[in-house]
Structure formats: structure tokens, C-alpha cells
């Protein structure tokens, strides 16, 4: 809001009232802009934490104070939007930030809101990664595809680094053999068909060595 919005007339900005809402979890700061005969009111919701930090009071304020209130209000709205999004399922900081920007928030505000939710314990990337890891194992994915999946989910680098310890507990050669048995009653001897099988298992994320050992184990054990 600038004086240009009011045809260059002298402008005053006044906090008219402070109202609690949402069972006291927010405080709405009602701000009135006046320039000549022009009047405009803005309602700026703040979290209780923001209200205690900014300590807005009734009376005239300058543009700098208003801008601080407005920025805090945008963050408050982004936090509330984040809480709603998280009620539908887990998110990483990255994916939540992306969803908020698509809903009109600036990237700076969206990222700050997502990190705030992480600090509040509503985003736990380590726990989320472990759940995703178990889902990947149920699908009999190899380590390469699991890593790719985690990056696609937007987990932070330090979170993905913890994946190595989980992968060490898995016998991927055995899982590759399970996948083979699931899709093939017997392993074809035709080289062209075997190459197709190898390519398919590669897309599941298995290494050539894991595939070779799995094929050998099936052919050996029958």
C-alpha cells in the first residue's frame, strides 16, 4: 500500500482493532488506510506468537510497521494453509514449499512456513523416509530406484544420506530373485529374451551384478 494508490493524497494508516479468532489461536489486526475521502480496511491475521513478538497496538502506524505486520500475516496464512495440506498426507519441506507457491505464496514465505512446521514437529522427514523405504521394499525395488524415488519426493540431502544405513539391511539379490519368480515361471534360455529381462530388472533399480546373481540362483535352485 502506497500513497500512489490514493491518488497521491496524504495517507494515514491506523490500527483500528485487535480481535481474537479461531479459539484464541490467532489475533486479527484491523488496519484502516485513509487518504482524503478514500478509505480501505485490511484484516491481517497473526499467530499468537507473532502477536507477542510484534506487539501491535491501536493507533496510527507508519508504513514500515504495516509492512512488518503484512509480512507476518502472509506467513500466518501460509502456516494455516500448510497445516491443511499436511492433514491430507506427509510432505517434505521441499514438496510443501512447492505446494504453497502454487497457491500464491512467495517462495520466501512458503519456505519459511514449511520450516516452521518442521520445527513444530509436523514435518518429520526421517520418519517419512522410513515409511517410503518400506513401501519401496514391498514393491521389490532395487537400491537405485529407491534412491531416485527419495530424491523425487524432495527429501533433504542430509535425510537421504541416512538411507544408506537402511539399504545395508536388505539383501537386494534375494529381492531381485523374488521379483523374477513373481513374473516368470521359468527363465528363458533365448539370449534376446534374457536381455529383455535384464533391462526390466534394471528399471526396477537392480545392478547388473545383482541381476546376474539372482538369475544364477534361480537356475541353480530351480
3-class secondary structure, 206: coil
Check pLDDT > 90 for residue 5: no
DSSP H/E element including 2: none
Question: Can you say whether the dihedral through the CA atoms of 59, 65, 69, 70 is positive or negative?
Answer: positive
Question: Percent of the chain at pLDDT above 90?
Answer: 86
pLDDT interval class at 209 (50, 70, 90): very high
pTM: 0.83
Q: How many CA atoms lie within 13 A of 152 on its CB side?
A: 7
Distance CA 82, CA 121 (A): 13
Cell numbers that stand for 9 in this block: 493524497
CB-CB contact of 96 with 86 (8 Å): yes
Distance CA 95, CA 111 (A): 10
Fold of 171-222: Arc Repressor Mutant, subunit A (1.10.10)
Asked which of 129-133, 140-144, 154-158, 181-185 is least confident by mean pLDDT, the reply is: 181-185
Distance CA 129, CA 163 (A): 8
Check pLDDT > 60 for residue 3: no
3-119 CATH: 1.10.10.10
Tens of pLDDT, residues 70-106: 999 999 999 999 999 999 999 999 999 999 999 999 9
Give me the pLDDT at residue 219, please. Answer: 84
Amino acid at each position: 500500500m502506497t500513497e500512489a494508490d490514493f491518488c497521491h493524497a496524504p495517507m494515514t494508516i491506523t490500527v483500528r482493532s485487535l480481535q481474537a479468532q479461531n479459539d484464541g489461536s490467532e489475533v486479527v489486526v484491523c488496519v484502516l488506510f485513509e487518504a482524503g475521502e478514500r478509505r480501505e480496511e485490511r484484516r491481517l491475521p497473526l499467530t499468537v506468537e507473532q502477536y507477542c513478538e510484534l506487539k501491535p497496538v491501536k493507533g496510527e502506524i507508519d508504513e514500515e510497521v504495516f509492512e512488518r505486520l503484512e509480512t507476518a500475516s502472509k506467513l500466518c496464512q501460509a502456516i494455516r494453509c500448510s497445516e491443511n495440506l499436511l492433514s491430507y498426507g506427509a510432505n517434505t519441506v521441499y514438496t510443501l514449499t512447492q505446494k504453497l507457491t502454487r497457491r500464491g505464496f512467495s517462495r520466501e514465505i512458503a519456505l519459511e512456513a514449511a520450516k516452521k512446521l518442521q520445527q513444530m514437529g509436523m514435518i518429520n522427514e526421517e520418519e517419512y523416509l522410513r515409511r517410503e523405504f518400506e513401501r519401496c521394499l514391498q514393491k521389490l525395488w532395487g537400491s537405485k530406484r529407491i534412491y531416485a524415488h527419495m530424491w523425487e519426493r524432495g527429501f533433504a540431502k542430509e535425510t537421504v544420506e541416512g538411507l544408506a544405513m537402511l539399504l545395508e539391511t536388505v539383501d537386494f539379490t534375494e529381492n531381485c530373485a523374488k521379483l523374477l519368480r513373481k513374473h516368470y515361471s521359468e527363465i528363458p534360455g533365448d539370449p534376446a529374451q534374457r536381455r529383455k529381462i535384464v533391462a526390466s530388472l534394471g528399471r526396477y533399480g537392480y545392478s547388473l551384478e545383482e541381476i546376474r546373481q539372482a538369475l544364477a540362483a534361480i537356475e541353480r535352485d530351480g
